[in-house]
Amino acid sequence: MPTGHFRRTRGRSPRVLKAAPQAVPRQYFGTDGVRGVVGEDLTADLVERLGRAATLWSGRGRIFVGRDTRASGVELEQALARGIASAGGNAVVAGILPTPAVALLTLDLGCVITASHNPPEYNGVKFFDRDGQKLTDEQEEEIEALLDQPGSGGGEIDEVGVATDSYLEHVLERFGSDLSGLHIGVDCANGAYSDLAPKAFEQLGAKVETIGNEPDGNNINVDCGATDLRALQALVKRERLDLGVAFDGDGDRMLAVDANGDVVDGDQIVAVLALHLRAPSVVVTPMTNLGFHELMAQHGIESHVTDEVGDRYVLETIRATGGRLGGEQSGHIIYLDGHVTGDGLVAALLLCRALEGRTLAEAAALMPRLPQVKENVRVRTKSLPQSILDEVSRQNEELAGHGRVLVRPSGTEPVVRVLAEAHDESEAANLCASIAGLVRRELG
């Protein structure tokens, strides 16, 4: 699928997606870099080859390298640096850094060793070009084609220790506001924001209660962070906080919890920001709640819907449409005024600024939400057969715009994701169960 494909909506609900498009076939790269279980799908040898191939592809320049807090990160960081040096490049190794910091600080190329929201046994490699943008499918294919090329040697490995300070200074200066009087819970997912995020809120005057800030290499994203909000919900209610924010392990996702302990998802966060920033347009994905589009239409904000799910496609479409704001229900929030990619800490700071004296519950309540029911079905193969595509199409034709069914293979895990949306929760649940059952029978 060529990048930059999207649908535009204004004053109406987006047209129903009949089936998620199939991704461009690549052997190693998925929807968000190379990712897998360490020692099985992802080895030090593969990471070293990726470092060498990416260096050859980029012209043997300076490559900025960061990682999250996974125990495997140190070995894989060393392997990547060896690969870079073996191809004549200069590896500038910064240690633990959030993914958006690597994007901001990238040199001729940027690379982060992370598996983002995945469990600790996973790890991965993401690349950014010299402008801080994720590589396109075609660019990743070009790197894959160089995986078996020998290196010329002659490169260097340097370590730097001031990257976190540079990143934090930029974020606070550009996106910070006076947070005095705000009592906030911060869940760092035992990941890359464990030291940075609490410090940021405290420097802006907030009173901070922090959890998920004791990484040991094996607890990243475990029972905490944006993938499991229960600990943050309990903290917010127990301490009677104004709100809570949670990041994922590498810091490119953020979700929130209001004072009642209710989850505020990425759709609602993007909606709050779009109204606050008076954005003329916004980019979202097929997963976005239909209630979001109703709210945007009421305010004359143009909605662009990507064909594929993933923050990379949101970012590409923002740039293609000349916009600044977009995001995903899962918590990837992208604002390009003073940044180059999605950033969980920036999203949290912008959300706090956008409250303007309201509670988070009051701000989020402006967006109506149609009931959605989701299920991740573990499968042997992620290629959707025609029988599933036909049934999804039939169900969507019957719903006639009053709901929808979406089926898509995950780009990072061996699962197929099923989403059903309807005006009635029981109808959505029945739709989801029916399609999930079909996927299980055909692919499980």
Q: 217-257 pLDDT, tens per residue?
A: 999 999 999 999 999 999 999 999 999 999 999 999 999 99
Q: 287-301 pLDDT, tens per residue?
A: 899 899 999 999 999
| Mean pLDDT, range 377-382, rounded to an integer | 91
SS3 336: coil
pLDDT of 15 reads 35
Q: Which residues are CB-contacts of 77 (< 8 A; sequence separation ≥ 6)?
A: 65, 67, 93, 95, 113
pLDDT of 154 reads 92
Q: Kindly give the residue spans of alpha helices, DSSP state H, lying in 92-176.
A: 99-105, 137-144, 163-175
Q: Which residues are CB-contacts of 368 (< 8 A; sequence separation ≥ 6)?
A: 291, 294, 295
**368 versus 26: which is more confidently predicted?**
368
Nearest to 269 by CA among 330, 322, 221, 314: 330
Residue 8 reports pLDDT greater than 70? no
| Mean pLDDT, range 376-381, rounded to an integer | 92
Q: 327-359 pLDDT, tens per residue?
A: 999 999 999 999 999 999 999 999 999 999 999
Res. 3 pLDDT band, cuts 50 70 90: very low
| Mean pLDDT, range 169-176, rounded to an integer | 97
One DSSP character per residue, 234-245 reads HHHHHHT-SEEE
Res. 30 pLDDT band, cuts 50 70 90: confident
Q: What is the average pLDDT value for the chain, to the nearest integer?
A: 92
Decide: 313 and 327 in contact? Cβ < 8 Å.
no
Residue 12 reports pLDDT greater than 60? no
Res. 21 pLDDT band, cuts 50 70 90: very low
Residue 23 reports pLDDT greater than 50? no
| Mean pLDDT, range 269-291, rounded to an integer | 96
Residue 271 reports pLDDT greater than 80? yes
pLDDT of 22 reads 40
Q: pTM of the predicted model, to two decimals?
A: 0.87
pLDDT of 233 reads 98
| Mean pLDDT, range 393-416, rounded to an integer | 88
Joined together, the tokens standing for residue 141 give: 């294919």
Clarify whether 116 is annotated catalytic: yes
Residue 14 reports pLDDT greater than 80? no
Q: Is 357 left (phi over 0), alpha (psi -120 to 50) or beta?
A: left
Res. 400 pLDDT band, cuts 50 70 90: confident
Percent of the chain residues topping a pLDDT of 90:
84
pLDDT of 25 reads 60
Residue 91 reports pLDDT greater than 50? yes
Nearest to 269 by CA among 344, 322, 176, 197: 344
SS3 188: coil
| Mean pLDDT, range 387-392, rounded to an integer | 94
> Which whole-number Å values give the CA distances from 175 to 305, 347, 348, 395, 400, in the listed order?
26, 9, 10, 44, 42
**152 versus 101: which is more confidently predicted?**
101
Residue 7 reports pLDDT greater than 80? no
| Mean pLDDT, range 267-279, rounded to an integer | 98
Residue 57 reports pLDDT greater than 90? yes
Joined together, the tokens standing for residue 169 give: 């200074």
Decide: 347 and 269 in contact? Cβ < 8 Å.
yes
Q: Which domains does the chain have, with CATH numbers?
A: 31-161 (3.40.120.10), 165-364 (3.40.120.10), 372-443 (3.30.310.50)
pLDDT of 167 reads 95
| Mean pLDDT, range 141-153, rounded to an integer | 94
Sheet containing 90-96: order of strands = 29-30, 33-37, 122-128, 109-113, 62-67, 90-96, 156-159
Residue of 116, 194, 303, 330 with catalytic role: 116
